[in-house]
Chain A
Amino acid sequence: MSARSETMLWIAQRATAALLALCVLVHLATMIVAVRGGLTATEILGRTRGNVGWAMFYGVFVLAVAIHAPIGLRTVAGEWLQWRGHAADACCAAIGVLLLALGGLAVAAVTL
């Protein structure tokens, strides 16, 4: 991969990290409060279903994860397994697509 592409990946990793820091803080706080007294589908879906704000929040969350996680895994694969090149890049891209698809499905399930 070219130096320019590596730089773009580094920027994307850091930018999504900053975005995810905010998302994870909100998610952690929500979870810590929500689990008090037990979780039910009515309680979860009552908060999220039809709520544009939560839909946008979790949509952005999933998109950022789908970018951040594969880049991080690619770095670890290169450092620990010395697995680099097109095959490693393709595998990590596939993981990103999988996370985006499953995450999008989850967001749709709880917000639509």
Chain B
Amino acid sequence: MTLHTWRNRDHPAYWASIVHRVTGILLALFLPLHFLALGTALSGDASLDGFLAWTDRPWVKASEVAVVALLAAHLTGGLRLLFIEFVGWQRGSQGILLAAAGGAAACCALAFALNLF
């Protein structure tokens, strides 16, 4: 991290960039596990059912909600960047954009949690 970026840490966009990078790293770590889990279906329906039964634990379900929150946060943060870069949305409205991105991500995670539990 450079001194320049560290000096910008009081700006909302700085923290948005941190959230976008951290969620991206965590999703990149999660994806191989997700693919391997789905790959159990190659051994037959029973294998996938066995894995799904394992996921029926409260801490696994809570982790799933966290992953959905990560995905939704990375999506909304990425959409915010695309709109700023390509649609010309004003950087001056960062507060509103960040609040909308955070709110949409939270709504996704909440909807998933309500249906999961």
Which chain A residues have a beta carbon within 8 Å of chain B's beta carbons?
14, 17-18, 20-21, 24-25, 27-28, 31-33, 35-36, 38-42, 44-45, 65, 69, 72-73, 76, 79-80, 95, 98-99, 102-103, 105-106, 108-110
Contacts and interface: CB of A to CB of B under 8 A. Distances in A.
Contacts of B71: 24, 27-28
A14 B116 contact: no
B17 to A, nearest CB: 9
8 contacts: A24-B71, A32-B115, A41-B41, A41-B46, A44-B41, A45-B41, A98-B32, A102-B31
B49 A41 contact: yes
Given A41-B45, A45-B45, A102-B39, A31 B79 contact: no
Interface in B81-102: 81-82, 85-86
Given A44-B48, A105-B39, A69 B24 contact: yes
Contacts of A105: 35, 39, 42
Given A73-B24, A106-B36, 13 more contacts: A14-B86, A31-B68, A32-B108, A42-B45, A65-B31, A69-B24, A72-B21, A80-B1, A95-B28, A99-B32, A105-B39, A108-B42, A110-B41
Interface of B: 1, 5, 21, 24-25, 27-28, 31-32, 34-36, 38-42, 45-46, 48-49, 52, 55-56, 68, 71-72, 75, 78-79, 81-82, 85-86, 108, 111-112, 115-116
Given A28-B72, A32-B115, A106 B39 contact: yes
B51 to A, nearest CB: 9
Given A80-B1, A105-B35, A73 B78 contact: no
A80 to B, nearest CB: 6
Nearest to B45: A41
A93 B32 CA distance: 15
A45 B45 CA distance: 8
A98 B68 CA distance: 22
Given A18-B82, A32-B111, A109-B41, A102 B36 contact: yes
